[in-house]
Structure 1
Amino acid sequence: MSIFFSDEAIASLIQEDVPYLDLTTYGLAIGKQLGEIEFSTRHPMTICATEEAARVLQYCGAEVHYQVESGTGCQEKQLILQASGTANALHSGWRVALNLMEYASGIASRTRALVDTVKTVNPAISIVTTRKCFPGTRAISIKAVLAGGGFFHRLGLSETVLIFNQHLIFLGGMVGLIERMNELRKKFPEQRICVEVETVADALMVAQSGVDLIQFDKISLSEIKPLVLKLKQQYPNLKLAAAGGITSENIKDYASSGVDILVTSSPYFGKPCDIAAKMTKTQ
């Protein structure tokens, strides 16, 4: 699985943890001794960011001998990454590599759990994640979501036209948006036009305007199910998404509502996975 990380991005991750030198290794005068490091799972997980962890270790001067591909479902005590080098190289890259894999694998594992849950209800439904990841971590967060079998809602504001209530404030409400729909279509002939709605009435009004996707935000399941049925009958090409507070506790219910897409931020929030790092002296 390939997500672009520049050499500068990898270097900045290391520099954040090792701005000048590893003072402890330097003070103990052990930096030139040779050793090996092995990372293994402490519990079942969907692994992620082994490629970036390997690049961190290589950048620090270690040689990587083995790594598991991101997106692999791993069992407890499974070896996922192995490298050798000087004590200075191993200690410089150890924690950065471990943090990357633990946090990314946490997101990937939570995504995988959601995907596996909804596929039992509706195999055709898509799980997509929002832009609500911690600032500065979008690339690794997106990689983790993909590793878990999910996809992204959109990568940034430049990618799609998605109209929220906050936009309607400057348009004179939903009526003002409908009046501009033809203009929007002409301006963006290749982009999908998506609108988020919070009421059934707004959903019906927007559907008539010819949008490509309607996103229900925090509309109750009891309202969504009959609304989806009605909209699908009248507008068979219209895509429908549900968003707002979708978690592992309620995602199965939302999956049964008939929508095409479930939009969630929940994979980003939770405990990192637990990965063991074992270092040994080889000479």
Structure 2
Amino acid sequence: MTPLPDLILEPLVRAALIEDLGTYGDVTTRAVIPAGIRYTARLNARAAGRVSGMQIAALAFRLVDPALAVTTKVPDGAACAAGEVLMEIAGDAASILMGERVALNFAGRLSGIASQTADFVAETRGTRARITCTRKTTPGLRLVEKQAVLHGGGFNHRFSLSDAILIKDNHIAAAGGIAPALTAAKASASHMMRVEIEVDRLDQLAEVLEVGGADAVLLDNMETATLTEAVRMVAGRLITEASGNMALGRIAEVAATGVDYISVGALTHSARTLDLGLDF
């Protein structure tokens, strides 16, 4: 996968470094590390998983000190084993220490998302279903968390409210029903913008199919048997997306219903940080 330009990532990393360095910099390092001391540090995986955030970690070190030599050993999107060296950083010891926490925070968080995504994707093998994320992301970090989902083998849903028209239950209620909501969406959508609508009952799905105008249907909080019937009703006319209560243990049976996508908010809002460490 082609990396994002550093130009896009730099504001996020710069803000994190400024937050961590505070108003007076790293007072501990200045107090105890003599100037000019040089070291080679290794960023290690302390648990197995899927790697993400190496580009951001490298950028954190380079923003602190462009003279640091940063060598990525395991790229974003690759699997790693416990004890594997993911990155080496050589140069001024004080600079390495100043970038350490920000680099680890990003890499651990994003690798955790990628690792959890890979676990969900593994449950869909042999089916057409794709695992996709949602907008349930950490404020300000949506871009990199969604990139981590890609590193884990998943797919991205909307990045923002402006990407596509997604008519949910509250929109339907406020618009006066499925038919008026879809009619209004069809009237305002450009030829480049897709329309998806959420349903949680088969009679609602039947109305969507009758009214027309949707490109995709979000099948929300349905039992597995109901999902199977919904896919049969759609018969390939719309993209189908299953959502709601998509725990890891249920993914295989949902994927077997024939849905095109399974959206999982937990990929980003409940992923455990992958245990990483930096050692001199």
TM-score, with structure 1 as normaliser: 0.91
Contact 1:125 1:260 in 2 (8 A): yes
Residue equivalent to 2:267 = 267
Q: Is the 8 A contact 1:54 1:67 kept in 2?
A: no
Instruction: State the identity %.
Output: 25
Alpha-carbon distance, 1:31 to partner: 4.2
8 Å contact kept, 1:30–1:87: no
Helix, strand or coil at the partner of 1:98:
helix
Question: What CA distance in whole angstroms lies between the structure 2 residues aligned with 1:68 and 1:229?
Answer: 43
Superposed structure 1 runs of 4+ greater than 6 Å apart = none
- Tell me which residue corresponds to 1:96: 102
Instruction: Decide which of 214, 222, 225 is 1:219's aligned counterpart.
Output: 222
Which AA in structure 1 matches 2:118? Answer: R
Q: Write the distance in 2 (CA, Å) between the matches of 1:78 and 1:31.
A: 30
Match of 1:203 among 202, 205, 220: 205
Q: In 2, Cα distance between the equivalents of 1:82 and 1:66?
A: 7
Of 86, 110, 119, which residue of structure 2 is paired with 1:113?
119
For 1:18, the equivalent position in structure 2 comes to: 21
The RMSD of aligned alpha carbons is 1.6
Aligned 1:1-283 pairs, distance under 5 A? 1-4=2-5, 5-19=8-22, 20-61=24-65, 62-120=68-126, 122=127, 124-180=128-184, 182-184=186-188, 187-210=189-212, 211-232=214-235, 236-268=236-268, 269-279=270-280
C-alpha distance in structure 2 between counterparts of 1:130 and 1:14, whole Å: 27
- Relative to structure 1, the CA distance from residue 278 to residue 227 in structure 2 (aligned partners, 3 Å threshold; closer, same or farther) is same
Structure 1 gaps of 5+ residues are: none
Q: 1:182 to 1:90 in 2, by over 3 A?
A: closer
Change (3 A) 1:84 1:253: same
The answer (yes or no) to whether the contact 1:50–1:67 under 8 Å persists in 2 is: no
What are the ranges of 5 or more consecutive residues in structure 2 without an aligned counterpart?
A: none
Task: State the SS of the aligned residue for 1:195.
Answer: strand
Distance 1:93 1:58 in 2: 8
Name the count of aligned residue pairs: 272
TM-aligned CA deviation for residue 80 of structure 1: 0.5
Name the amino acid aligned to 1:243: S
User: Are the counterparts in 1 of residues 167 and 196 from structure 2 also a CA contact under 8 Å?
Assistant: yes
CA shift in 2, pair 1:31/1:98, >3 Å? farther
Give the alignment's TM-score, normalised by structure 2.
0.92
For 1:250, what is the secondary structure of its paired residue? helix
Secondary structure of the structure 2 residue equivalent to 1:188:
coil
